[in-house]
Structures are given as C-alpha cells and as structure tokens.
Amino acid sequence: MDLGLAGHTALITGGANGIGLATAKAFAAEGCRLLLWDLATSVAVAEELADEFGVDVQSQQVDVANFNQCQSQLAEFIGSGRSIQHVVHCAAVGSGKFGFPFTKLNPEDWRKPVEVNILGMTNIAHVLTHYLTEQQVGTFVFVASVAGQIGSQTDPPYSASKAANINFAQCMAKDLACYGIRVNTVCPGMVQTALNRAVWQAWHNTALEGDKQSYEEWAARKLQSVVPLGRWQACEDIASMIVFLSSDRAMQVTGQTINVDGGQVMHS
C-alpha cells in the first residue's frame, strides 16, 4: 500500500534501536527521508538505512531531556534547508527497579523516568510545535505503553510517565487540530526490546531464589496469562501502526490511543 509519504521527512527520537529503528525502516520503505535523534551515536545506523532504502538519512546525537539541545539541533537541521512533516517520539527509559509494591521504591527512583519520559516528551512538543504550526501541516505520534493504561505494578514510575504521555498527547491533539496537525499515541504491549528485558531483570534481582525464572520462562508465562493472542508483538508491528497514523490514510484520526498489544488491554 502506497501511503503517500515519499519525499516527506520524519524525525524519530530513539531511532537507533528497538521500536525507533523499526519505525525508521518503515518510513524509509515508503520513500520518506529521516532525521534520527538518539542519545547513542547513530551515524552507522543512518548510513545503513540510507544504503538499504536509498533515502536521505541524517542523525544527530540528542538527549531529549535537554530542551536547549533539542532546540539547537532542530535549528541546525532546518537551517540546512531541510523540512520535517512527521514527528515520532520513541525515546524512553524505565526506572530499572521492580516496583511491586511501590513502597519498595525511593522517590529518587522516579527522577529519570520523569525527566526522560515526561519532560522529554514536552521538550519535543514545545520544540516542534511552533515549526509545524507555521507549516499548518504535520503529525505527531508518541509511543506510550499499555502500562500507562492499566497501572502496571512492575515499574510504577514508568507506568505513570506513560499515562502522562497519553494524556498530554490528547491535550496537544485538541490544541493543534485548528492547524491541521494530528496527534496520536501508540501503546505497545509485550515487545522484545532491551527495555522489556530490563523489566525482567529488575524482577529477577529481587525475586526469592526458588521463584526465579529465566527471561524466556518469565516472558512465556506472562504472554500466556495477559496476552489473548498469546504471542509477542514485534517492533515492526508497532512501526506499521505509527507509519499508518502518520499518513493521509489516517487523516481523520487524532487524539487517539491505539493499542498494538495482542489484545492485552480491552476496554468495554
């Protein structure tokens, strides 16, 4: 399906790996140019994508929690004569702690998820909104999580930050609709990423010796108990939804929270 994205440019945060990288590939397959922002150096990733898909790919080392850095890097990119039509915010972190019950955590454990997941999102919103409203065209897609809808006890700081992402995206959608800018949120369920493995590791570090399971055992049990389809969601599954929501095929879709979760979260 041609989504009409050829010649457009997508800015993807967290674009060097995981869901961000899968999203970059999905946009590139549609003929879309790319700007990758990641805390890790992503020059090699950019070169590989450019070679594989034959599109222009630029990368900048950016900490989304640093507003001034986001602002200056955008100015540098736009100043080179390039433009951006689509923004996808994938960058996120967990607390690295197993938070059940939440009283096992310390207030300091909340700092990093709040700085990266909440303030990082607001930085992206503030930096890019002025630019896109001047164009009066564009899309935002924020990657949240089903944990932001069900009050996951595994990592309360991460869960709470993702709930904030969902809510703020709805605020943005209402504010920006008059400019023709659409804002949506995609919520992955169980995806095999470094972040998912870190959730298991945090649990494993505190579990009683007799209760400990390997990552594979833990994941298989969780998949069967909480995911009706009983299988992992792939990074590519999430990327497909993001690219669709960014296209004119979804031109009447804004302010929505779309779950790509194998049926884990069902609202009656």
Residue ranges per domain, the chain? 9-191+234-259
pLDDT at position 268: 42
Q: Kindly report the CA angle at 234 between 109 and 99, in degrees rounded to 5? A: 20
Nearest one of 2, 40, 10, 3 to 141, comparing CA atoms: 10
Which of 39-53, 230-244, 245-259 is predicted least confidently?
39-53
pLDDT at position 5: 97
Q: Which residues are bridge partners to 146 per DSSP?
A: none
Helix (H, G, I), strand (E, B) or coil at 91: coil
pLDDT at position 218: 86
Mean pLDDT of 35-46: 88
What is the layout of strands, in order, in the sheet containing 9-13?
57-61, 33-38, 9-13, 86-89, 138-143, 181-188, 257-260
249: which 2 tokens?
């095929």
Which of 81-85, 102-106, 238-242 is predicted least confidently?
102-106
- E runs forming strands in 96-159: 138-143
The pTM of the full predicted model, rounded to 2 decimals, is 0.92
Residue 47: pLDDT band with limits 50, 70, 90: very high
- Residues 9-191+234-259: name the CATH superfamily: NAD(P)-binding Rossmann-like Domain (3.40.50.720)
C-beta of residue 37 within 8 angstroms of C-beta of residue 13: yes
Mean pLDDT of 217-246: 93
C-beta of residue 250 within 8 angstroms of C-beta of residue 1: no
Chain segment 191-229, per-residue pLDDT in tens: 988 878 888 888 888 888 988 999 899 888 888 888 999
Mean pLDDT of 102-117: 94
